[in-house]
Structure 1
Amino acid sequence: MAVGLTGGRHAADEEARAEVDVLNSRLEKTTQLTKKIQACLGRLEATGKSVRDVSGPLNGETKKLQILGNNIDAVIAAIERLRQPADSKNDEEQIIRQGPDKAGLSNYLNSIQRLSTSLQNMESANLRANQQTRTDLQRLIQNGNSSLESHFDKILRGETPMSVEPLNFTTKGRPFPVISQDKIARLSLINSYVGSNATTENPLVKIYAEVRGQYLQKTLVNLAFASVNTAKKTSPGALYKAGTNGIGEYAKALEGMCIAEHENICSIFMRQDWGSVLQLACQVPMAELARTIRELNNHIKAHLSTDCFLAYEVVEIMSSLASTLEERTGELKSTLAAALKPVRETAKVSLAELLDDTKRKVSMLQSIPSDGAPIPIVSETMQRLQSMVEFLRPISSVMISLGDGGWKSAAAANRSTDAIPSLASFDIGADGKEIFAHYCTDTIDALLTALDQKAKMLLRGKSVMGVFLANSITIIERMILESGLAPLLDGKLAVLDTWRKRAKAMYTEACKDLSMQLFDVIHTNRTQRPPSGGIDSASILKGLSSKDKESIKGKFVSFNAGFDDLVAKHKTYSMEREVRNMFAKDVQQMLEPLYNRFWDRYHEIDKGKGKYVKYDKSSIAAVFLSLY
C-alpha cells in the first residue's frame, strides 16, 4: 500500500521534472532568439544611420534639380510666349491693315486687344531681344486706334445730316431724330474700347462734339436769325405782343435737340462722360444763343418803353428751358444763366426806367388841351401796365429779386446775380401779385403827380385842371376794370380816390364862390318870431330894409352871372362821360338846395319881372339836368 503510493508519487515527480526540463529548454531558446533579435536590430539601426547619412545629400540635390527643371520649363514657356507675338504679328497686321469695315468691327477690336495683351507681356519681360517686336506692336496698336477713331467719325457723319428743318418738329410736337440703334451699337462698341484704354481724354468725345455740334448749330441758325429779325417792328411805337418774337420756337427747338443729343450720348458713352460730352457738343449752339440774346438785348434797350416786354418773355422762356434741361439732362443750366444775364439785367432795370420814362414824357409836354381833354400818355401808361399782366410770371420773379419798392432805388435795380431763376421763383402767389400791385399804384401815382404839376404850369383855372385830372383818373380806372389788372388791384386803388377828391375840389371851387351868394344875413326884430309853416317871400321882403333888399338883388345878379359862366364852361370842357356826370352831380348837390332855399325866400324881389331872379326852381333844375 505504501509502496504503491511511493511509486505513484515518483512517477508524478518525474513527469513534473520532465516538464520543467522542457520549459527550461524553451526558455533558453527564447533567450538565444532574443539575443539574435537584439543583434539584428543593432545591425539594422547602424545600417539605417549609414543610409541616412548617404541619402540626405542626395535628396537635397534632387530638390535642387527639380527647382532648376521647373525654372527651365518656365523660361521655355516664357520664350514660347515671347515668340508668339512675333509669330502672330503678321496675322494681326493684316487685320489692322484691312480696317474695321473689311475685317469686321468685332474681329478688329479683338485683334487690337490681342496686340495690347502681347505688348503688355513683352513689356513685363523687358528683354532687349524683343525691342523691335515691341516697336512694331506699338505701331500696329497706334494705327489700329487711329483707324477706330476714323471709323467712329465715319459712322457718326454718315448718321448726322447737315441740318434738319426744326419747325417740322416743334410745330408738330415731334421729337427730334436720334442716331439709329444699329449705328449706336457700333459707336458704343468702339467707345467701350477706346474710352477704357484712353490714358488722358477720350478722343471720341472731341469727334462727337465737333460733328454733332455743327449739326446743332446749322439746324438752329435760321431760328436764331429769325429771333433777331422778328424783334424789328413796322410800327416803332407799338407795344410788343407776347409770342410775336421767334425766341419761343428757337428755345423749343434747342430744348428738343439737346434732349435728343443727351439720349444719343447716354447710349454711346460711359456715364461719367455724359455731362462733359453734352456740354462740349452744345458749346457752339449755346454760343450762338448767347449772341442772339445779346442782340435782342441791344434792341430792347434801344426801345425799352415798348419792348421791355420782350425782355420779360425772354427771361421766362430761357428760365423754363434751363429748368427743363436741368431736369432731363442734369446739364446746361449755368450756361443758359450766363447767356440770359444781359436780358435779365435789362428786365430789372426796366421797371425803374419805365417810371422815369413816364415822368420824363410828361415833363416834356409843351401844351395840354385847354378844354381839359385827356392826353395819350395816360392810356399809353395804362396799356403798358395791362401788357405787364401778360408777363406776370417773369415780372414777378424780377420784382421778387428787386424786393418790394426796389424799382425806386437805382442801387437795387443794378443788383446783379448770375443765378438763373428756378421754377419756384416764378410762383406768382401772394408775394408776386402784391409786389406787382404796388408797382402799378406807384406808377399811377407818379403819372398823376407829374400831370398835376404840368397842369399847374400850362392850364389856367382850377376847374379845367380838375377836369384834366378827373379825365385822367377815369381813363386809368376804366382801363384797370376792363383788363387783367382788375383782380390784381382790387381794393388797392386808394390812390385814385385821393386824386379824385383833389380833382373834385379843384372843379367845385367855383361852386363855393357861387354858394356864398346864396347865404344871407337877416336882421329881424327880436321880439318877433319868423313865421312858421310855408315861406312867404313877400312877407319876408317886407321885413327887410332897403339896404338888405339891394343886397338880395345884388346876390341874385351875381349868382346869375356866375352860374351862367359855370354852366357855359362846363359845357365847353371835354369830359369823359363818367367825369361829366360826376361833376354835374357835385354842382347840383352843392348849389340846387341853396338856390331853392334862397329863391323861396326872396324870389318876390322883382315881382316876377325876371330882372333879378333869372331862374325859378323848375328852370334851374332843368339847367342842372343839362349838365349831365
Structure 2
Amino acid sequence: MAVGLANSRHAADEEARAEVDVLNSRLEKTTQLTKKIQASLGRLDATGKAVRDVAGPLNGETKKLQILGNNIDAVITAIERLRQPADSKNDEEQIIRMGPDKAGLANYLASIKRLNKALNDMKASNLRSTQQTVAELQRLVKSGNTQLENSFDKVLRSETPRAIEPLHYITKDKQFPTLSQDKITRLGLMNSYVSGVYRQSGGAGAPQESPVAKIYAEIRSQYLAATLGNLAAASCNTAKKKNPEAIYRAGTNGIATYARAMEGLFLSEYENICNIFMRDDWGPVFQATCQPSLVELGRTLRELNNHIKAHMNTDCCLAYEIVEIVSSLSNNLESRTGELKSSLAASLKPVRETAKQSLAELLEDTKRRVNGLQTLPADGAPIPIISETMQRLQSMVDFLRPISSIMVSLGDGGWKSAAASRGGVADAIPSLSSFDIGADGKEIFAHYCTDTIEALMVSLDGRARALLQKKPVIGVFLANSVTIIERMIQASELAPLLESRLQVLDQWRKKAGILYTETCKDISVHLFDVIHTSRGQRPTSGQGAVDSVSIMKGLGSKDKENIKAKFQAFNVSFDEMVLRHKQYSMEREVRQAFAKDMQYMIEPLYNRFWDRYHEIDKGKGKYVKYDKSAIAAVFLTLY
C-alpha cells in the first residue's frame, strides 16, 4: 500500500514537470515571436519614414497646384464676366443712342445703371486688355448722363410757361399751379439717378450744384421772376401819387399784392421741389430757385425806400406797411418751408431802418417846419401843418402793429433822439410774437402821439409870440390849433388811445384863454369905481334894488364926470373888442368859448356898474350906450 502511494506521487510530479516544460517551450516561442514583431515594427517605421520623406513634398506641390487651379478658374470666370459688357456693349449703346424718350425712361435708366456697374468692375480689374473697353464705356455713360440731363431740361421746359397772370389766382383765392404728377414722377426718377452720380463724384456738399438742380433752378427761377415782374414794377409805380402832398393810405400801394403773389408762387414751387428732389436738397434748391425773385424784391424795396425818405411826412406809413407785409411773408414762408428768412430780412432792412428813424425824424421835422415859418395869419387862423400833423398820426393808427413792434424795441420815449432810433432795433425780421399790439404797444404809441402834439404846440406858441406879438391873436391862434387837434382826435381811432391823455390840450386851451381875455381885463378896469358920495355912506350892491337916481344925487360933479368918462371909455374899448372878435378867424368852438369867457368876465361887472350909474345921462344914451339887455344881445352875437 505504501509502495502504491509512492508511485502515485511520482506520477503527479512527472505530470507537473511535463506541464512546466510545455509552458517554458511556449514562453520561448512567445519571446521569439515578440522579437520578430519588434524587428518588423522597426522595419515598418523605417519604411514609413522613408514614405513620409518622399510623400511630404508631393503633398505640398499638390496643394499648390490646387490653389493655382482655383486661381486660374477665377481668372477665367472674371475674364468671362469682363467679356460680358464688351459683348453686350452694342446692345446698351443702342439703348443709349435711342435716348430716354424712345427707349423708355425705365429701360434707359436700367441700361445706364448696367453700364456704370460694368465700368466700375472693369476699373477695379485694372487689366490692360480692358482699357479700350473702359474708354468706350466711359464715353457711353457720359453720353447717357448728358442725354438724361437734356431730357430733364426738355420735360421741365415743356411744363413751365414763361409766366402766368398772378392776379388771376390772387383775386380768385386759388392755389398757384404746380407741375403735373406724371411730369413730377419722370423728373424725380431722372433726378434720383443724376444726383446719385453727382454725389458719388464728390459733390455731396452742394446739392444745388447738381446738374439737374442747376437746370431746375435756372428754368423755374426765370418763370417766377417773369411772373412777379409786373407786380414789382406796380409796387414802385403806385408809390407815386397823383397828389404828392396826400397822406399815404393803407392798401394803396401794390406791395401787398406783390407779397401775396410771391408767397403763393414760392409755396407751390416748394411743393414741386419736395416731390422731385431728395429731402436734403429741398432747402438749397428752393433757395437757388427763388434767388432771382428775391434780388428783384430787394431792388424794389430799395426804390420804395428812397421814395419814402424823399416824402417822409406823407409816406412814412408806407414804410410801416412794408415792414408788416414783408415780415408776415417771411414768417409764413418760414413756417411752411423753413427757408428764406435771412434773405427776406436783408431785403427789408433798408425800409425797416427808415421806419425806425422816421419816428424821431417826424418829430424833428414838425419842429423845424414850424420854426421856419416867416409869417402867420394876422387873424389867428390855423395853419395847414396842424391838420397835416394830425392826419399823419391818424394814418399811423392804421399801422399800429408794425409801429408797435418798432416802438417796443425802441422803448418808451426812444424816439426823442434820432440817435436812439438808429440803434435800438435788431436788423432781423421780427417774429409774429413781436407784433403783439397789447397794452404796452398802444401805451407807447399814445405817448408818442402826445409828445408830437406837445412838440407841435410848443413850436406854434414860440413862433406865434415872435410873429404875432399881440396876446389876443396869439390866444386865438393857439385855441384854433387846440380845437383842430382835439377834433381830429375825436373823429378818428386816436380817440380811445388818447382819451386819458387829453390834459395836455386842456393846459394849452387854458393858456390860450388867458391870452385872449387879457383885453377883457383892460376893459373891466373902466367898470371899477372908487367914488365917495357927499352924503353919508355910499349904497353898496347886494342890498336890495339899487337906486341909480339916489346914487347920482349923492355924487359930486367931479365924480359924475369920472363916471361919464368911464362909460365912454368902456363903450370905445368894448366896441373895439367886439369888432376884433368878429374879425378874428376862429373855429366855431373857439368863438363860442371865447364869447362865453368874455361875457362871464364883463357882463356881471357892467350890469353892476349900469345899475349904479345909468342915470348919469337920464336915458339919453349920450354916455350909457348899452343897457343890460342891449349888452346881453351884443354878447349873443359873439357866439
Question: TM-score with structure 2 length normalisation?
Answer: 0.89
- C-alpha separation between the residues in 2 aligned to 1:413 and 1:231? 25
Q: In structure 1, the residue corresponding to 2:248 is in which secondary structure?
A: coil
Deviation at 1:152, TM superposition (A): 0.6
- C-alpha separation between the residues in 2 aligned to 1:300 and 1:34? 129
- C-alpha separation between the residues in 1 aligned to 2:518 and 2:418? 40
Moved more, 475-484 or 98-107: 98-107
Cα deviation code 1:440-477 (max 9, x no counterpart): 22322233233334434554632222122111111110
1:209 matched to 2:206? The reply is: no
Letter in 1 for 2:584: Y
- C-alpha separation between the residues in 1 aligned to 2:40 and 2:449? 130
1:593 aligns to what? 604
- C-alpha separation between the residues in 2 aligned to 1:252 and 1:369? 48
Moved more, 1-10 or 613-622: 1-10
Aligned 1:333-344 pairs, distance under 5 A:
333-344=341-352
Deviation at 1:382, TM superposition (A): 1.3
- C-alpha separation between the residues in 2 aligned to 1:384 and 1:69? 99
- Unaligned runs of 5+ residues in structure 1 are none
- C-alpha separation between the residues in 1 aligned to 2:611 and 2:14? 198
Deviation at 1:26, TM superposition (A): 5.0
1:169 aligns to what? 169
Moved more, 562-571 or 606-615: 606-615
Cα deviation code 1:185-215 (max 9, x no counterpart): 2211111111121134311111111111111
Cα deviation code 1:209-265 (max 9, x no counterpart): 111111112222222232223233333332222112222111111111111111111
Aligned 1:86-485 pairs, distance under 5 A:
86-198=86-198, 199=201, 200=203, 201-359=209-367, 361-362=369-370, 367-415=375-423, 418-459=427-468, 461-485=470-494
- C-alpha separation between the residues in 1 aligned to 2:21 and 2:592? 172
- C-alpha separation between the residues in 1 aligned to 2:27 and 2:496? 138
Moved more, 166-175 or 550-559: 550-559
Moved more, 500-509 or 25-34: 25-34
- C-alpha separation between the residues in 1 aligned to 2:440 and 2:14? 143
- C-alpha separation between the residues in 2 aligned to 1:18 and 1:263? 120
Letter in 2 for 1:592: E
- C-alpha separation between the residues in 2 aligned to 1:554 and 1:14? 208
Cα deviation code 1:85-121 (max 9, x no counterpart): 3222212211111111122222222222222222222
- C-alpha separation between the residues in 1 aligned to 2:58 and 2:193? 55
- C-alpha separation between the residues in 1 aligned to 2:314 and 2:502? 25
Moved more, 121-130 or 465-474: 121-130
Letter in 2 for 1:220: L
The answer to whether the Cα contact below 8 Å between 1:537 and 1:603 also exists between their aligned partners in 2 is: no
- C-alpha separation between the residues in 1 aligned to 2:224 and 2:174? 17
Q: In structure 2, the residue corresponding to 1:279 is in which secondary structure?
A: helix
- C-alpha separation between the residues in 1 aligned to 2:350 and 2:216? 31
Deviation at 1:175, TM superposition (A): 1.3
Q: In structure 1, the residue corresponding to 2:65 is in which secondary structure?
A: helix
Letter in 2 for 1:317: I
The answer to whether the Cα contact below 8 Å between 2:321 and 2:399 also exists between their aligned partners in 1 is: yes
1:584 matched to 2:592? The reply is: no
Q: In structure 1, the residue corresponding to 2:437 is in which secondary structure?
A: coil
1:64 matched to 2:64? The reply is: yes
- C-alpha separation between the residues in 2 aligned to 1:107 and 1:178? 27
1:488 aligns to what? 497
1:534 matched to 2:544? The reply is: yes
- C-alpha separation between the residues in 2 aligned to 1:254 and 1:17? 134
1:512 aligns to what? 521
Residues 14 and 244 (structure 1 numbering): CA distance in 2 closer, same or farther, change over 3 Å? Answer: same
Moved more, 229-238 or 138-147: 229-238
- C-alpha separation between the residues in 1 aligned to 2:587 and 2:450? 22
Deviation at 1:545, TM superposition (A): 5.2
- C-alpha separation between the residues in 2 aligned to 1:563 and 1:529? 27
Letter in 2 for 1:271: R
Q: In structure 2, the residue corresponding to 1:387 is in which secondary structure?
A: helix
Letter in 2 for 1:315: V
Q: How many pairs does the alignment contain?
A: 628
Deviation at 1:563, TM superposition (A): 2.6
The answer to whether the Cα contact below 8 Å between 2:538 and 2:551 also exists between their aligned partners in 1 is: no
- Unaligned runs of 5+ residues in structure 2 are 204-208
Residues 616 and 49 (structure 1 numbering): CA distance in 2 closer, same or farther, change over 3 Å? Answer: same
Letter in 2 for 1:150: N
Letter in 2 for 1:113: K
Moved more, 62-71 or 400-409: 400-409
- C-alpha separation between the residues in 2 aligned to 1:284 and 1:563? 77
Cα deviation code 1:119-162 (max 9, x no counterpart): 22222232333222221111111111100100110111111122
Question: Percent sequence identity over matched residues?
Answer: 72
The answer to whether the Cα contact below 8 Å between 1:537 and 1:604 also exists between their aligned partners in 2 is: no
Moved more, 56-65 or 588-597: 588-597
1:500 aligns to what? 509
- C-alpha separation between the residues in 2 aligned to 1:117 and 1:519? 121
Moved more, 333-342 or 278-287: 333-342
1:565 matched to 2:576? The reply is: yes
- C-alpha separation between the residues in 2 aligned to 1:151 and 1:456? 82
Residues 104 and 91 (structure 1 numbering): CA distance in 2 closer, same or farther, change over 3 Å? Answer: same
Q: In structure 2, the residue corresponding to 1:72 is in which secondary structure?
A: helix
Moved more, 126-135 or 531-540: 531-540
Deviation at 1:43, TM superposition (A): 2.9
2:586 aligns to what? 575
- C-alpha separation between the residues in 2 aligned to 1:528 and 1:582? 40
Letter in 2 for 1:450: S
Moved more, 472-481 or 461-470: 461-470
Deviation at 1:537, TM superposition (A): 4.4
- C-alpha separation between the residues in 2 aligned to 1:184 and 1:7? 131
The answer to whether the Cα contact below 8 Å between 2:532 and 2:538 also exists between their aligned partners in 1 is: no
Deviation at 1:360, TM superposition (A): 5.1
Cα deviation code 1:253-279 (max 9, x no counterpart): 111111111111122122232222112
The answer to whether the Cα contact below 8 Å between 2:236 and 2:300 also exists between their aligned partners in 1 is: yes
Q: In structure 2, the residue corresponding to 1:478 is in which secondary structure?
A: helix
- C-alpha separation between the residues in 1 aligned to 2:343 and 2:357? 22
Q: In structure 1, the residue corresponding to 2:525 is in which secondary structure?
A: helix
Q: In structure 2, the residue corresponding to 1:249 is in which secondary structure?
A: helix
- C-alpha separation between the residues in 2 aligned to 1:110 and 1:86? 17
- C-alpha separation between the residues in 1 aligned to 2:295 and 2:479? 53
Letter in 2 for 1:242: A
Deviation at 1:517, TM superposition (A): 2.6
